[in-house]
Chain A
Amino acid sequence: MFFLGLMTVGYVHSADITPTDINNISVVTIKNQICDELLITKDTSSFVSPLNSVWNSETLLDAKFENSLIAGNVSLMLSQIDNLRIRRREVNSYTYTVLADIPITKASDLLFSRYDRFARATTYQYDLVTMLNGVEGAIVSNTIESSFDDFYIMEKDTGYHGINIEITPTRNQNSTVITPLDGKYPVVIYNTSMNYDSLNIKGMFIQLVNGEFDKAGAWKYRDSMKDFLVNHKPKIIKYSDGRIWLVSIVDNPSDDSSNYNAEGYTIMTFSAISVGDASDSQTLFEAGLIDINQDYYY
């Protein structure tokens, strides 16, 4: 363009607006309107409304204001998840233990906390597995070294802590010794494949409250624990060295204070026998220790 005899704005893009670099935008505000939808995408290929509002990898934010300020893809996620499975495996093992199935029907179902009371002292990988109609989808994983002090005896929703524990496991098998009339040596017959531990447990059960032993409330704690021990339900016993058993209590718990004069200190003794594999999901489920969706368990 000639202006006052001079060539000015000669290049085709000479009059374009100044490129303005504003990156890493993290705050978007809308106001002064009735808004039906706010959509932001990295896909700039289309300059015709409406843009594609189906979530894809380019979508950054899509607020449809359908009775909420949801601007993420939770609606899409919810349509693709009907169950969230929690499972774990010991590192260097390929055997998973399913711990829980959580039905997902609404966004808030995805926000939760759960406790795994049956983890031994070892390193675990935990997985959150999305499921739809029994088919596993995306997985989120994390790893932790499980550690705890002393001894715990656990059920699904409660547990008790012991110190100075002595565990005496005995491996049991079933055999019969037959003495032949004309033989020098007896014959041993194994009619069953029994192979389980029986445990004698002796120790001091006292609650830790804010890192301190609760001596004043110790007798209440042990009374409660006695009810717990005789409730006829399977339990998990685990020790800080990594050992763990699924057991039932088989005798009468006793509480002996003869060796202690100090308040709150007594020695409790009871016996238990191992009744299953503490890392097998089906066994834990049948013992009433975990909730899993049997329809989705194979």
Chain B
Amino acid sequence: MSVDSGYVVFSVDFIAPTNWSKLVLENSDGMIKLSSNVTLITGKSNTSSPTYIDDTKIDLTSRNNLLYGVSVYTDKFIDYKNGSEEDSIDDNYATNYISIYPSTTYTISGLTFDSSGVEETGFAWYNVNGDFISGSMLSGSSSNGIYNSPPSAVYIKLTLNSRDLPTAQLILGNIPNPLLENNYVTFDEGFTIASDFSLEILGQKFAPYSPIAELSNGNDKIELLWMLGNFTVGGTQQAYVVLNAYNSYACSRICSTPMTIPFDTVQVYILLNRVNNLFDLKVTFK
């Protein structure tokens, strides 16, 4: 498994001040104790795994999940009996080749949708020339488990149903019941968004079909999801962002205008405006 170089392993809990706006005074054994307590905007990352940061960006991708960032083909599935890519009528996706080590243990998890009896969905091992070696059925939660790659295998392709895309994982090693790794950063102190606002994210390598931002007041939530979809017959897949805004009375949903799926190295601006409780959404290349 490769580890990015150039990153610094970052503390999982970092506090930094923003406004030095409080001076606390107290009597203490004949002295006056002065404390400069700054107002904080506290960024917190999850404690389950290291978060990586460099001098310009933070990596919130799921590094252990080999499926992260892998391109998938819509309405296709991998026939586990011969490794071929077949048309699907069951909302399945076929992954592209994923590099793996030969004679190594891998864990597949997060599968829930059972498509058995409809399509011969599964995964397949391939050699360095892309030739099929062997495969196994993948269908539903009973397929979650440990698999050993054949001695000559260097690639794997999997079938994933659309319902399993946000949760499916392929992880190196024998890891029973792996948690869905989900690196995040939360800001929950030192600010309040009371009314109209604009939010801008400059990011890249967004995980398809996954939430990329959430804004909450404890009860209600505004959620942005990165989505892929095909909007024309015979057309190519495009990327877009969905906004869901929930409160106890209503749910608003809007989509951005679809755009060409950006490469992982291409930066994208996601801009959200809220004026008078109406939302507007825009996604553009940097």
Contacts and interface: CB of A to CB of B under 8 A. Distances in A.
Q: Answer whether A and B are interacting partners.
A: yes
Interface of A: 16-44, 46-51, 60-61, 63-74, 77, 84, 86, 107, 110-117, 119, 124, 126-128, 130, 140-144, 146-149, 152, 154, 159, 161, 208, 238
A43 B200 contact: no
Chain B contact surface mostly: strand
Contacts of B14: 68-69
Nearest to A110: B20
Contact of B30 (A31, A42, A67, A152): A152
A65 B56 contact: yes
A96 to B, nearest CB: 15
B59 interface: yes
Nearest to B223: A29
A18 B252 contact: yes
Contact of A73 (B18, B215, B250): B18
Nearest to B51: A69
A112 B41 CA distance: 17
A112 B217 contact: no
Contacts of B28: 115
B60 A33 contact: yes
B137 interface: no
Contacts of B197: 40-42, 44, 60
B199 to A, nearest CB: 5
A36 B25 contact: no
Interface in B252-286: 252-254, 267, 269, 271, 273-280, 282, 284, 286
B34 A126 contact: yes
Interface in B19-70: 19-45, 53-62
A20 B247 contact: yes
A85 to B, nearest CB: 12
A74 B216 CA distance: 24
Given A20-B252, A161-B29, A66 B56 contact: yes
A36 B202 contact: yes
Contacts of A16: 278
Given A49-B282, A161-B30, A34 B204 contact: yes
Interface residues of B, number: 105
Interface stretch (B87-95, B142-150, B188-196, B231-239): B188-196
A111 B17 contact: yes
Interface of B: 8, 10, 14, 16-45, 53-62, 182-207, 210-218, 220-222, 226, 245-247, 249-254, 267, 269, 271, 273-280, 282, 284, 286
A40 B193 contact: yes
B277 A19 contact: yes
Given A72-B41, A144-B27, 15 more contacts: A20-B220, A23-B195, A27-B218, A33-B205, A36-B203, A36-B267, A38-B199, A44-B196, A71-B191, A84-B36, A110-B38, A119-B31, A140-B22, A159-B31, A208-B29
Nearest 10 CB-CB pairings of A with B: A72-B18, A69-B43, A49-B269, A32-B207, A31-B184, A19-B277, A25-B193, A72-B41, A144-B25, A152-B30
Given A25-B192, A25-B216, A71 B18 contact: yes
Contacts of B60: 30-35
10 contacts: A22-B217, A28-B187, A36-B57, A49-B284, A65-B53, A67-B54, A69-B185, A112-B35, A115-B34, A146-B27
Contacts of A33: 60-61, 201, 203-207, 212, 226
